[in-house]
Amino acid sequence: MINLELPEVIKQAEHMARMLAENVFRPISRKYDKQEHDYPKELDALAGARRSGGNRSGAGSSNPKKAAPGTVVNAGNMLGVSSVAQLCWGDVGLMMAMPGSGLGNAAIGAAGTPEQKEKYGNCYASMAITEAGAGSDSKNVSTTATLDGDEWVLNGEKIFVSDGERCSHIVVWATLDKSKGKAAIKSFIVEKGTPGCELIRVEDKLGLRASDTATIRFDNCRIARDCLLGDKPEIAETAEERKKAFGGVMQTFDNTRPMVAAMAVGVARGALDMCEELLAKEGIELTYDKSRTEISAIEAELYALEAEWEAARLLVLKAAWMADNGKPNSTEASMAKAKAGRMCNRVTLQCVELCNNLGYSEENLLEKFARDSKILDIFEGTQQIQQLIIARNVLGKSSADLK
């Protein structure tokens, strides 16, 4: 059973992350929001300590099989979501720009062989999934991977690759045979600088401006045979094999979606704290000791936003706890992502509105929180995709039954 009281070691990591957010991220937040494509050099000092601070690459790093039967585990996933939320209280873009914290690291941690985890343990890996013709529908990727002797040859183009410019490696989703659908989807680890791997452009964005987002093209890019993530190069043939094969690829999301949800929880908390601080100066404070008939409309709205935030936070903790304890968490990961993404959008925009001109101007960070929040409801699977996954799992439907 989940215990809602976090262990002391995670509380200490949360405290460290909050100190980073408050003393490193917040002071430079506006600077790198305006200087979008400049690398935040202040983060270089964090490179050596990134694991102790908790980051996205921690996802999937726990190994519940080693725990004694009946033991409750709070490991990499719980540490990750707790610390990420605190870092994003400071600045979600800067958190994503931290050296070595790419989403590809989580993919390697979730699906890599022991040898791959050892070899790429200290790399900075982005993850390339999205294509112009295959956004949320990951099984329809068109980038191809063809085995030629002892090498894989990749061809295709990926868009919206987070950390695509600054990373050292890229985890690329590609198909071995487009006609076989999701059964032929595999992931490959490509080192940046490999011939045929070309950075096309870095995007200008609404939010997360401190983090780079790139378009990358693969043109007869040759990589070694053992760069296939995992150890199963065969295309699944039977229905059961196809389900397991694509499920293994999608396992990455079961670990990373709670992390993205934690980002949303952190951004929303930052907006709520700033909003409540500004309103307190105007004599509006939450005391939690009045009935609804005794409070103002603004207070009532703040109470509602706080309740939304708490619900999202608890869903994130549950999804992370299940991952750490070896329990299937696909439904819970999607629930956390869907709830937190929607909550963060609503909270940040309402905080802008409640603070009037102070919320809309660049005098404070509220307008930036609102811009940053939008992508948190989109990447790692849109709101609609999360609801579809939840519906399939709850109703016991397959992707063919419920589209």
93 touches 32 (CB < 8 A): yes
- Residue 98's Cα: distance from chain center in Å? 13
**Residues noted as catalytic:** 380
Q: Which residues of 74-105 are buried (b: 16+ CB within 10 A; e: fewer)?
A: bbbbbbbbbbbbbbbbbbbbbbbbbbbbbbbb
d(CA 154, CA 159): 15
Phi, psi of 380 (to 5 degrees): 65, 25
Mapped onto helix, strand or coil, the DSSP state of residue 83 is: helix
176 touches 236 (CB < 8 A): no
Phi, psi of 224 (to 5 degrees): -65, 155
64 touches 73 (CB < 8 A): yes
d(CA 346, CA 125): 31
177 touches 147 (CB < 8 A): no
d(CA 94, CA 210): 6
d(CA 275, CA 84): 21
170 touches 205 (CB < 8 A): no
Closest CA to 127 of 119, 114, 138: 138
Look-up of token digits 């329990």: 327
Closest CA to 373 of 252, 269, 301: 269
Q: Which two tokens stand for residue 14?
A: 């949360």
Q: Which two tokens stand for residue 366?
A: 């509220």
d(CA 189, CA 366): 38
Q: Position 309: which residue type?
A: W
d(CA 82, CA 265): 10
